[in-house]
Amino acid sequence: MLSDVTTPQDLDDRFRDRLTALDAADERRDRAEPVGDGALLTGARALDLFDAQVVSRQLDLAGRWLRSFSEGFYTIGSAGHEGNAAVAAALRPTDPALLHYRSGAFYCVRAAQATPPVSEEDAGEGGDAPIDAAGLVGDGPFTPAYAEAARDVLRGMVASSREPIAGGRHKVFGRADLAIVPTTSTIASHLPRAVGLGLAVERLRRLDPAGRRTGNGVRIGGGGGAEHAPWPPDAIVVCSFGDASVNHASATAAFNTAGWSDHAGLRIPVLFVCEDNGLGISVRSPKGWVETALRSRPGIRYFAADGGDLVEAYAVATEAAAWVRRHRRPAVLHLSTVRLMGHAGADAETAYRTTAEIDADLDRDPVVAAAALLARAGVATGAELLARYDEIGWEVRRIAEEVLDEPKLASPAEVVTPLAPRRPVRVGRAVADAAARASGPGAAARAEAFGGKPPELSGPLTLAQSINAALADGMLDHPQMAVFGEDVAVKGGVYGVTKGLRDRFGPARVFDTLLDETSILGLGLGAGLAGMLPVPEIQYLAYLHNAEDQLRGEAATMQFFSSGAFRNPMVVRVAGLAYQEGFGGHFHNDNSVAVLRDVPGLLIAVPARPDDAAAMLRTCLASAAVDGSVCVFLEPIALYHTRDLYADGDNQWLAEYPEPGAWSSGHVPVGRARVYGVGSAEDLTIVTFGNGVRMSLRAAAALAEEGVGTRVVDLRWLAPLPVGDLIREAAATGRVLVVDETRRSGGVGEGVIAALVDAGYVGAARRVAGVDSFVPLGPAAHQVLVSEEAITQGARTLLAR
């Protein structure tokens, strides 16, 4: 038995003693009746919720048992939080849920809700087993749905590759058919996504496939296609977290954005559930603080319930869910809980809690409280409930033994397969299909959107103008694409890059957000999860660092931790890099991209030329739509409005915008470089990107006057690097100068040199990189940034070897 696993609190022994001591009711109650006067819970539903709580408790014991002989890898359990079973029962199985790691009972109930109701013929001998409105069977504690849920959780504990959501990559609560979205263990980082998901659910129910407002059902789609939205139009989002998470910056951002949006008249149907056990590992939440913090949030309705009281928790959760569903506004359910068996298996609570405190929590065991409710109501006796507990325990132990021998992920390929799928042929086909639509059935709409003068007839464009035109074409081709961020709508962006888009496509698809990068990315994460194609803007690269975990911990991990069942495609536009004249300092001239290149699976594009910018943006949008890619489109601010290359007035940094018929032939695949030949192009290879492309071309022209032939390789993609093109062009000359406008330490150049070494390159190589410094204000910036003079001097030094 799993009860043989001892705990510091002897939780199992106490449970048995308490149930044995329960008094039987004077008479049996019909399970179809409420368990008490005015109660919403029937006896049948209360018994099913008790069973779900017991399954969760037995899973916690199983986790300790597995860990006792090094076969289990996760012991953070749900003991004490089993009251969240009532929250699950108050919701619909089609309401998307983002759950924290003490949600075992919620998961079991959701699994039962999503299981088709059992017919009377199949319910048991004689067909007389009671069936409540949720399709839960009251007789037989370990239903097939609970067995399946238990197997899911146990597979996660032992890192089985057959686990249904993460496939052994992480222990998470998640399953696509249960509308449970997996979340990482990063505290509160999933809350901004929940807000974004709520906003997206509401926006999608108001828009038709063309992105227009409608009162009809929701359809989503891209590239001219359409498919049903993943959740019903009246769905609400539920997001759970612990009391300690209330203090996290991500939680503060999410609450603030939800309240701000509500105050602005935007509807966000999110039910936050704070499960308050008073502890963050060993740190206590000050008494009354959580309630004060949650009650004070403007625009968020506050509900509170005792998680140890099934009747109260179910009633209040039902009220809260109904309020959010009816009003389409955010609310928080403050559910008081206890934490039993410590934070995790290695946690010795006696190091920071008194015996009296631990005993007080044990006296509030929610599973004991549910048993007492059922006995008091005449639904079952203590002995009968204990028998159910033991039956479930035996079954959980049996499943635990079965999953022990299931296969684990056994190769790097198995681990990374769902991380960031790349299907370049499909992406190229998507670009070609977009071109066909733009020149065919969508030609009239395109002409109207551009006021009768499409960008290909507007003459050569700057980098900013080319991006603007490509965004407009993207909006036309992807009906659920949305552009949003600080100042992008009414103002058209600080640099005018999104100018006119709001007028063309309306405020539902191009809108300003509050000034908070975490929330901007959270909106994108939720919108992508809901089936939209979000294009959020981060106003400056330096501001991204406030919110980088939303990319690292949430965006990039979604397909990895869901085996591709969920995805959050998006293209994050970031204005960045240095060399702005007359405006700057560090925050407007940030040249650090190391934090982006370190994120597995993230696609990073850096266009330098206007023609590359349009083509690469189309590739990013197609990759997001086809593969669910998370793309960062890093736009060099100093090149936004640059017109000239070699001399004032030469206009050689401008480029014509291609007509749709040329999009396919001009397609830029992910991870392909662009090569410029200057002179004979036989003596030196300069590898660079962004602002370095223009500086290197100017330096190459100067070198050509000295008889040096140079090929300039514009990487264009910083992740994945165009290694094949890089090796080929390096081998062509045997001399490589890496021009890296980021920093010497942690800069892009390190990756380029490493790629050359790994490929066996034996020629000469040298770097010219920015100094390891923040970018100072004014002329001092030139002391730490790469210059044309430094490039030419580096080239001469390399050629002299």
**CA angle, residues 794, 800, 801, in degrees to nearest 5:** 100
The pLDDT of residue 9: 59
Mean pLDDT of 290-314: 96
**Helix 366-376 and helix 310-327, axial crossing angle in degrees, nearest 10:** 100
pLDDT band at 147; cut points 50, 70, 90: very high
Whether the per-residue pLDDT at 278 is higher than 60: the answer is yes
Does a cis peptide bond (omega within 30 degrees of 0) precede residue 96? no
Whether the per-residue pLDDT at 408 is higher than 80: the answer is yes
Whether the per-residue pLDDT at 122 is higher than 50: the answer is no
pTM of the complete model: 0.92
Please spell the DSSP secondary structure of 616-632, one letter per residue: HHHHHHHHHHHH--EEE
The pLDDT of residue 229: 62
| Contact between residue 711 and residue 678 where contact means Cβ atoms under 8 Å apart | yes
Whether the per-residue pLDDT at 137 is higher than 60: the answer is no
CA-based nearest residue to 511, from 99, 767, 80, 196: 196
| Contact between residue 152 and residue 166 where contact means Cβ atoms under 8 Å apart | no
Q: DSSP letter at 728?
A: H
Whether the per-residue pLDDT at 125 is higher than 50: the answer is no
CA-based nearest residue to 183, from 268, 245, 259, 112: 245
Question: Is beta strand 603-605 parallel, antiparallel or unpaired with respect to 630-636?
Answer: parallel
Pairwise CA distance, residues 245 & 279, whole Å? 10
* Share above pLDDT 70 across residues of the chain, in percent, rounded to a whole number: 93
Whether the per-residue pLDDT at 121 is higher than 60: the answer is no
The pLDDT of residue 672: 97
The pLDDT of residue 342: 85
Q: Cα–chain-centroid distance for residue 345?
A: 28
Residue 576, beta-bridge partner list: 636
pLDDT in tens, 739-751: 999 999 999 999 9
User: For 19-119, where are the E strands, in sequence order?
Assistant: 97-98
Poorest-pLDDT segment among 150-154, 554-558, 585-589: 585-589
pLDDT in tens, 558-597: 999 999 999 999 999 999 999 887 766 777 888 889 999 9
* Share above pLDDT 90 across residues of the chain, in percent, rounded to a whole number: 79
The pLDDT of residue 185: 66
pLDDT in tens, 380-406: 999 999 999 999 999 999 999 999 999
Whether the per-residue pLDDT at 218 is higher than 60: the answer is no
Whether the per-residue pLDDT at 220 is higher than 50: the answer is no
Question: Is beta strand 710-714 parallel, antiparallel or unpaired with respect to 674-678?
Answer: antiparallel
C-alpha dist (Å) from residue 382 to 10, 69, 467: 19, 33, 69
The pLDDT of residue 589: 84
pLDDT band at 237; cut points 50, 70, 90: very high
Tokens (6 digits) for 592: 């650090």
pLDDT band at 7; cut points 50, 70, 90: low
| Contact between residue 628 and residue 423 where contact means Cβ atoms under 8 Å apart | no
C-alpha dist (Å) from residue 612 to 496, 672, 739, 741: 19, 11, 19, 19
Whether the per-residue pLDDT at 235 is higher than 70: the answer is yes
Buried b (16+ CB within 10 A) or exposed e, 98-130: bbbbbbbbbbbbbbbbbbeebeeeebeeeeebb
Q: Which of 248, 588, 641, 782 is catalytic?
A: 588
Whether the per-residue pLDDT at 256 is higher than 50: the answer is yes
Whether the per-residue pLDDT at 127 is higher than 50: the answer is no
- Residue indicated by tokens 């407009």: 472
User: Which amino acid does the sequence have at 373?
Assistant: L
| Contact between residue 196 and residue 258 where contact means Cβ atoms under 8 Å apart | no
HEC secondary structure over 342-399:
CCCCCCCHHHCCCHHHHHHHHCCCHHHHHHHHHHHCCCCCHHHHHHHHHHHHHHHHHH
The pLDDT of residue 204: 86
Pairwise CA distance, residues 369 & 452, whole Å? 71
User: What's the mean pLDDT when you consider all of the chain?
Assistant: 91
Q: Cα–chain-centroid distance for residue 493?
A: 25
Whether the per-residue pLDDT at 604 is higher than 80: the answer is yes
pLDDT band at 5; cut points 50, 70, 90: low
Mean pLDDT of 654-675: 97
pLDDT in tens, 751-789: 999 999 999 999 999 999 999 899 888 888 888 999 999
The pLDDT of residue 18: 93
pLDDT band at 213; cut points 50, 70, 90: very low
Poorest-pLDDT segment among 347-356, 505-514, 705-714: 347-356
Residues 6 or more apart in contact with residue 793 via CB below 8 angstroms: none
Mean pLDDT of 712-726: 97
Mean pLDDT of 640-649: 96
CA-based nearest residue to 480, from 729, 665, 714, 212: 212
Pairwise CA distance, residues 201 & 230, whole Å? 9
Is 588 a catalytic site residue? yes
CA-based nearest residue to 246, from 197, 282, 293: 293
Tokens (6 digits) for 142: 């370990």
The pLDDT of residue 778: 86
The pLDDT of residue 490: 94
CA-based nearest residue to 80, from 387, 306, 334, 351: 306
The pLDDT of residue 460: 97
Mean pLDDT of 656-670: 97
Burial label, 351 (beta-carbon count in 10 A; 0-12, 13-18, 19+): exposed
The pLDDT of residue 3: 53
Pairwise CA distance, residues 596 & 587, whole Å? 17
